[in-house]
Amino acid sequence: MPNAVKHVLFILVPLIAVFAVLPGVYQNHLLLFNFVTFLILAQGVNIIYGFTGYLPFGYVGFFGAGAYGFAVLVMHYQSPALVAVLAAGLVGVLLGLLLTPLLRLSGAYFAIANLAASLAVLHLVANPALEGITKGPYGVSLTGTFNPSHAYYAALAVLALTVGGVVFLKNSSFGLALQAVREDAVSASMAGVNVVKMRIAAWLASALVAGLAGGIYAWYVSVFYPDNVFSGDFSIFAIVFALFGGVATISGPIIGVLILYGVYNLIGFTTPQYFQLIYGLLIMGLVLFLPAGLVSLATRRGWHVP
């Protein structure tokens, strides 16, 4: 059996199946939705960071832009929710295109410039002068499309698409070439790889994923403010989850979200007073002892982790 088929059968299908069944047996649907959203975002970070090495500190910019893309279509054009979600993905891609010059930067410079760009988009959207289009800082209310259960299944579809994309990267020459670019751009070009094109492709793919997730988030919550959908927590969480599990793998970011976001909610419910402390210590421990993520526990022993 080819590896790609194995990865689909043993990772993608079970993941989607479990999250498709869970709403029937577990009451806290918002929590399930948040899990799915973070699974998408963590895999989106995986695509751009794991496979190309660019750390997107402002990743939420695409998410927020997608949420507002959704809102604008619903408010001003009475679009059906699914059309507005696709538009949200398109908005993510367009913002990604606009930001392609950032890819000339590397390391911390890229991370900081990307963070600044996401703040710029937030302030543009929240500008009172744009009240006629985005409702500025006053937030939007999209009661017409409100349908959390449809939104949840749309999120699952996007998760399937995203994990499918990562399975492709993990099993194709395209994904291998991306990793080659991450390792050494000069050598990659001597292997015949068009470095600029590859970086842009990965960047736009991760922007698309976050834009779609943002659109679906807007659909699900239906009432939100700029600060909600542009919250830096989305970027930080998605990055921490992906790194905790281990990037450039299919399973790493999934494990990262399930464990860390699970712990996050567990501590939050049971002992909220220690929450920040325990969570902070956990993350510090990770950075100090497992810089390559949980999956490196296995890869260090020579086991292959998909």
Partner 1 sequence: MSPETKPILSVRKLVKRFGGFVALDGLTFHAAPGEVLGLVGPNGSGKTTAINVISGLYAPDGGEVVFDDVSIGGTASHKLVHRGINRTFQVPKPFMSLTVRENVRVALAYGHIGGTPPALDALLDEYRLAAVADRPAADLNSAQQKMLDLVRALATRPRLLLLDELAAGLNPAELDWIAGRIKQLAAGGMSIIVVEHLMGFIEHITDRVIVLNAGREIFEGKLAAAVQEPQVIEVFLGGEHAA
Residue 68: closest CA among 232, 202, 228 = 228
Q: Which residue from 186, 272, 273, 301 is in contact with partner 1, where contact means CB under 8 A?
A: 186
Comparing CB distances to partner 1, the nearer of 173 and 273 is 173
Comparing CB distances to partner 1, the nearer of 184 and 227 is 184
Q: Which residue has the tokens 């006629």?
A: 132
**Closest distance of CB 196 from partner 1, Å:** 8
Return the range that interacts with partner 1 (CB under 8 A); candidates 32-40, 60-68, 115-123, 183-191: 183-191
Q: Which residue from 107, 128, 183, 284 is in contact with partner 1, where contact means CB under 8 A?
A: 183
Q: Which residue from 45, 122, 156, 180 is in contact with partner 1, where contact means CB under 8 A?
A: 180
Rounded-to-integer distance, Cα 263 and Cα 278, Å: 10
Residue 3 binds partner 1, judged by CB under 8 A? no
DSSP structure class, residue 11: I
Comparing CB distances to partner 1, the nearer of 141 and 187 is 187
Q: Which residue from 184, 268, 287, 300 is in contact with partner 1, where contact means CB under 8 A?
A: 184
Rounded-to-integer distance, Cα 221 and Cα 160, Å: 21
Rounded-to-integer distance, Cα 232 and Cα 255, Å: 22
Stretch 192-231: interaction string toward partner 1, x if CB under 8 A: xxxx------------------------------------
Q: Which residue has the tokens 């600029």?
A: 196
**294 in Cβ contact with 255 (< 8 Å):** yes
Comparing CB distances to partner 1, the nearer of 143 and 173 is 173
Residue 263 binds partner 1, judged by CB under 8 A? no
Q: Which residues contact 104 (CB under 8 A, 6 or more apart)?
A: none
Q: Which residues contact 55 (CB under 8 A, 6 or more apart)?
A: 49, 107, 110, 111, 114, 239
Q: Which residues bind partner 1 (CB under 8 A)?
A: 173, 176-177, 179-180, 183-184, 186-195
